[in-house]
Amino acid sequence: MNSIFNYSRRSHLCLRIMFVLIALIFFVMENSFAQTQDDWNKFRLAQSYENIGNYEKAFELYRELYFRFPVQFQFYDAYYRMLTQLKRYDEAIGLLRDKLNQNPDDFNTYGELAVLYDRKGIKDSIEYFIQQGLNRNPKNAMAYKFIANILIQNRMFDYANRVLEEGKARISDNDMFIIDLININTILMNYQKSCSEMIELLKKQPQQISFVQNKLSQIISNPAGLETAIQVFERNVVRKNLSILKLLAWLYFQNREFKKAFDITLEIEKLTNSNGYEILEFSNRAYQEGFIDEAVRGYEYILKNFKEKKDLEAMSIIGLARSFDQLFQNEFQSKNISWKLYKQPADTNNKNLKEALKYYSIIYNNYTLPNLVAEALFKTALFYKEHFQDYTKAKDLLNRLINDYVLTDYYAKGLLLAGDIEKISGYDDKAYNYYERLRTFSRANETERNLAQFQIAEILIRKSLYDSAKSVLSNIKKNTTSDVANDAIEFLMIITEQESSPQNLKTYTEIERLIEAKQFDEAIKKISSINLDDDYSIYQNRLRMMLAELFITTNKYSDALAQLNYVYELKEKTIYSDRALFRIGQLYLYGLKDKIRAEQTFNKLLAEFPSSIFVSEVRALINQIQTENF
């Protein structure tokens, strides 16, 4: 009976104690919560001070919070951050040492101590704490990673490199260290080491080819890096490791050692039995990167050696058409030609032109892909217009393009070209119809529509519809970002000035037509027959500038120089003064090959027309002259 009574008393006592403890816990939690709210408000205030650069005030608040709640990580982190910000390194070191006493296996803390001793310049302590951290658990890969990452974040790359090397040596599964060593040695420009690690990685994980190529791209921006990379890959090439072979070919390619690159590609082709696709990839890359001769070599090799592969044949023919087209265009981009505003037709026996026409004709006669066929039709028509002046052949091709390939990227371009041909041929009504179709075509881009509208304005002038022409041009000039807008503004000024002399406006559009038809001698005769007696007429000065450009095109540099000097030397400056001076400089540089006078002319432009639109280009030309980059 007593035992039952004693048990009952003990139970009652336990219940009372439990209720007291629960009440006490709720009381503490309630008060703690209130304190926490106040403290978090104080923490946010400290953050505000920190954000505006008042570090001392922020430090005081963070310190107070930390010492009240040392286990709250955010308070600790903020306090530590302010200690380092204010360079109170000894206090920060003390804080970290206290942290280590509580958790001796915290790898990050060893790394942070090394960083602080680095800032204090105490080298022995740097080494000591790094090694202490690693020795806590030398077989733990994450110890090396954590410490190395902290060192890297604080730009202690050499120390981080040594940590990673040690980790790689001590840990059997060390692939993670190889990637880190590639990264850090790339940063340190230790190209030999970085590339050696790349080889090791590719031997273990060939699928890492994209990562390695990305790192190689960073290295080879330095010529010494490219040379080193090639040497390392050559020494370590493994004939059956496709990743290493592909990257060696790519390195040769970047070094313009195209024969070696092509030979390696052929080797890869044989190892993989890829039926020509490796060669196609090489050729496409060569084309995309502007090495057109090498692209041609690859495409021609495919046509010769993989005749049974019809898809490869098609892609190679497309590649050859575009490659010979680009080689032909490159001829017009040479310095001796590109500076001329109007271009003479090319020799119709030009090899690249003939080859481009040959392969484009194969495309539009044999293939069915709409955009591809449309491209071939358009490019061929353009060649016949520009270089053969065979408008009948060009129109036949364009009719097929316009009738059958409305939904392609070349439909709008075809309409514009067809309109240009009709306008050149004197059929303004037909030209107008093409331009109007383009203007209202929803898929045409803004530049194409503006060009069509500009041509419509010329046709309206010839029809004496001046108000309509001005309305069209005014619509173009609203878009100030369009290249056509400046031409529209200039044309509007001429129309406004000459509206009372309609024959002058018609003569102007006739001269433009002759130039588009590449009848340059006829255009020169036409302008020369006009009495240019008003020095400050926009119309007449525009004709003088056109005459100068025609003389440049026909290599009559003395005559061109006379016209340009006349415009530039007018007592009162006109809208053409800076342009005339700019072209004088270019004429000396490219036409007369007189770099001294060219530079003098360009400097004169900078001095007299500091706000000219030609300033940036002139500065670049002066720099090229001075560096003999001609």
Q: What is the DSSP string of 223-258?
A: HHHHHHHHHHHHHT--TT-HHHHHHHHHHHHHTT-H
Q: What average pLDDT does the segment 264-271 reach? A: 92
Q: What average pLDDT does the segment 229-240 reach? A: 92
CB-CB contact of 153 with 185 (8 Å): no
Q: What is the DSSP string of 403-465?
A: HH-TTSTTHHHHHHHHHHHHHHTT-HHHHHHHHHHHHT-TTS-HHHHHHHHHHHHHHHHHTT-
**pLDDT at 277 (0 to 100):** 93
| pLDDT(30) > 60 | no
Q: What average pLDDT does the segment 560-576 reach? A: 97
**pLDDT at 3 (0 to 100):** 43
Confidence band (pLDDT; 50, 70, 90) for 483? confident
Q: What average pLDDT does the segment 189-198 reach? A: 96
Confidence band (pLDDT; 50, 70, 90) for 1? very low
Confidence band (pLDDT; 50, 70, 90) for 239? confident
Confidence band (pLDDT; 50, 70, 90) for 8? very low
| pLDDT(552) > 90 | yes
**pLDDT at 146 (0 to 100):** 92
- In Å, how far from its chain's centre is CA 125? 46
Residue 576 is which amino acid? Y
| Tens of pLDDT, residues 370-419 | 999 999 999 999 999 999 999 999 999 999 999 999 999 999 999 999 99
Q: What average pLDDT does the segment 133-138 reach? A: 90
- Tell me the two tokens of residue 458: 């010329």
More confident residue, 27 or 520: 520
Confidence band (pLDDT; 50, 70, 90) for 6? very low
- Start-to-end CA distance of the chain, whole Å, equals 118
More confident residue, 576 or 240: 576
Rounded to whole angstroms, what are the CA distances from 130 to 91, 140, 144, 446, 621? 20, 14, 9, 63, 55
| Tens of pLDDT, residues 329-357 | 999 888 889 999 999 999 999 999 999 99
C-alpha span between 117 and 135 (Å, rounded): 19
% of residues, the chain, pLDDT over 90: 76
Confidence band (pLDDT; 50, 70, 90) for 630? low
| pLDDT(284) > 90 | yes
| pLDDT(443) > 60 | yes
| pLDDT(16) > 60 | no
Confidence band (pLDDT; 50, 70, 90) for 516? very high
Considering the chain, what is the average pLDDT of its residues? 91
| pLDDT(481) > 90 | no
CB-CB contact of 217 with 198 (8 Å): no
C-alpha span between 388 and 346 (Å, rounded): 8
Residue 608 is which amino acid? E
Confidence band (pLDDT; 50, 70, 90) for 32? very low
HEC profile for 170-181?
HCCCCHHHHHHH
pTM (2 d.p.): 0.75
* Coil/strand/helix, residue 573: coil
Structural domains present in the chain: 368-444 (1.25.40), 519-629 (1.25.40.10)
- Could you give the count of Cα atoms lying within 13 Å of 285 in the half-sphere of its Cβ? 17
**pLDDT at 629 (0 to 100):** 64
Confidence band (pLDDT; 50, 70, 90) for 209? very high
With a CB cutoff of 8 Å and minimum separation 6, the contacts of 81 are 62
